[in-house]
């Protein structure tokens, strides 16, 4: 396998301090570097990690004014990264998402093989205005039409890209860790007892159905606590805090970045709620499966395609209330089945190999004018 010069663009950087894409880039970049590739990840200059290398991955920081001008700053940051990429002669550039990068498609380095991970259906996110949703549809089209190759993290997204743009893509999901250690002592620090609390971990966004979940819990007769982990704090998060401030059972604990602590909280939760509804294979759902959590997920095609019959589903606050009040739910069989899925497919060594193979094939195809992936094959 040819050793390639690979650049990751489109995230706030590594090590992960934000979300799913950053977590994926952290694992993929380190894994590809361990295979011998020359890997660079672009970091926002606001990222707290200030070293030039991270486990064999080169870190390049570029100016990011998001803290000054909010969302508009993401577009400037992406442009700064793309302009720098012209100087580095990457064999392959992997864009993780398209929201604020595809607008600059005219400036993509022509000699680099451009691969875009198309993420979920960003324009469906309810936090966006009608104007922004319209723009995101255009951004999705720009990414689909002006990238050399596409990655879809779920079969649903892959089928959508084919139907809407007549573009083939490789199905490569995210992964999860299977070797994290449980820290029962952390429960004591948090004043928790095993299986005597409920939990969700999520960004504070409407499409993640936090309000629906908490409304159902608040209406229940449960005596257990409910942990809400995640961030960053925003208007929606503040609204939820205010709405449920009178329910002493609900604890907003903010983001938890230590993966073994999060792993412990998920594993020992009586129920782990997963409310995400927009996107493909969601990393936090895979992490919950790797933690052998008892999972109750929002009922949509993306969650069902991963959990299949090894979980429970909700579509309303009343569904949540009933699941909480019905008492003990099936844990062992579902948890083991979900963990087996992680071991067989959704694990980072496997996902990294899939990316390595796909990246190499894309580079070979662009530079040798072959047509493997235009005929619809996947890795």
Do the bridges between strand 149-152 and strand 250-254 make them parallel or antiparallel, or are there none, so unpaired?
Answer: unpaired
pLDDT at 232 over 80: no
pLDDT at 231 over 60: yes
Q: What is the CA radius of gyration of the chain?
A: 21
User: What is the residue extent of each domain of the chain?
Assistant: 5-175+347-375, 184-344
pLDDT at 370 over 70: no
Q: Are 282 and 205 in contact (CB under 8 A)?
A: no
Structure tokens at 133: 């949703």
pLDDT at residue 120 in the model: 62
pLDDT at residue 127 in the model: 59
What's the chain's average pLDDT?
91
* 373 confidence band (pLDDT: 50, 70, 90): very low
Which fold would CATH assign to domain 184-344? Rossmann fold (3.40.50)
Rounded to the nearest angstrom, the gap between the alpha carbon of residue 214 and the centroid of all alpha carbons in its chain is 22
Mean pLDDT across the stretch 311-329?
93
pLDDT at 371 over 60: no
Q: Based on the number of CB atoms within 10 Å of its own CB, is 185 exposed (0-12), middle (13-18) or buried (19 or more)?
A: exposed
pLDDT at residue 27 in the model: 95
pLDDT at residue 185 in the model: 96
Q: Is CATH 3.40.50.2000 the right assignment for the domain spanning 5-175+347-375?
A: yes
Mean pLDDT across the stretch 310-333?
92
Please tell me the least confidently modeled range out of 151-160, 293-302, 307-316: 151-160
Q: Do domains 5-175+347-375 and 184-344 have the same CATH topology?
A: yes
Q: What is the pLDDT of residues 96-131, one digit of tens each?
A: 988 889 999 999 999 999 999 987 665 555 556 677
pLDDT at residue 328 in the model: 72
């Amino acid at each position: 396998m040819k050793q390639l010069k690979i650049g990751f663009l489109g995230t706030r950087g590594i090590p992960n301090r934000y979300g799913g894409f950053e977590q994926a880039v952290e694992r993929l970049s380190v894994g590809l570097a361990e295979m011998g590739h020359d890997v660079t990840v672009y970091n926002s200059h606001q990222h707290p990690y200030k070293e030039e290398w991270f486990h064999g991955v080169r870190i390049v920081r570029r100016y990011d004014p998001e803290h000054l001008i909010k969302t508009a700053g993401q577009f400037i940051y992406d442009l700064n990264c793309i302009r720098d990429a012209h100087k580095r002669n990457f064999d392959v550039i992997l864009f993780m998402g398209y929201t604020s990068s595809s607008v600059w498609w005219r400036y993509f380095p022509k000699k680099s093989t451009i691969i875009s991970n198309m993420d979920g259906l960003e324009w469906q996110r309810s936090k966006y205005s009608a104007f922004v949703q319209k723009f995101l549809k255009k951004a999705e089209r720009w990414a689909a039409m002006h990238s050399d190759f596409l990655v879809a993290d779920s079969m649903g997204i892959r089928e959508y890209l084919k139907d809407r743009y007549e573009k083939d893509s490789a199905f490569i999901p995210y992964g999860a860790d299977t070797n994290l250690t449980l820290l029962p002592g952390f429960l004591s620090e948090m004043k928790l007892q095993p299986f005597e609390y409920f939990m969700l971990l999520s960004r504070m966004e409407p499409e993640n159905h936090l309000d629906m979940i908490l409304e159902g819990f608040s209406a229940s007769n449960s005596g257990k606590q409910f942990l809400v982990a995640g961030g960053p704090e925003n208007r929606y998060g503040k609204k939820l805090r205010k709405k449920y401030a009178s329910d002493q059972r609900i604890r907003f604990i903010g983001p938890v970045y230590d993966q073994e602590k999060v792993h412990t909280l998920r594993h020992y939760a009586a129920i782990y709620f997963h409310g995400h509804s927009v996107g493909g294979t969601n990393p936090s759902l895979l992490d919950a499966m790797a933690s052998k959590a008892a999972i109750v997920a929002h009922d949509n095609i993306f969650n069902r395609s991963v959990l299949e019959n090894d979980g429970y589903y909700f579509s309303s606050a009343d569904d949540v209330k009933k699941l909480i009040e019905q008492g003990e739910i099936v844990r062992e069989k579902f948890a083991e089945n979900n963990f087996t899925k992680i071991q067989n497919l959704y694990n980072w060594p496997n996902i990294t190999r899939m990316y390595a193979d796909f990246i190499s094939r894309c580079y070979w195809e662009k530079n040798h004018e072959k047509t493997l992936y235009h005929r619809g094959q996947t890795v």
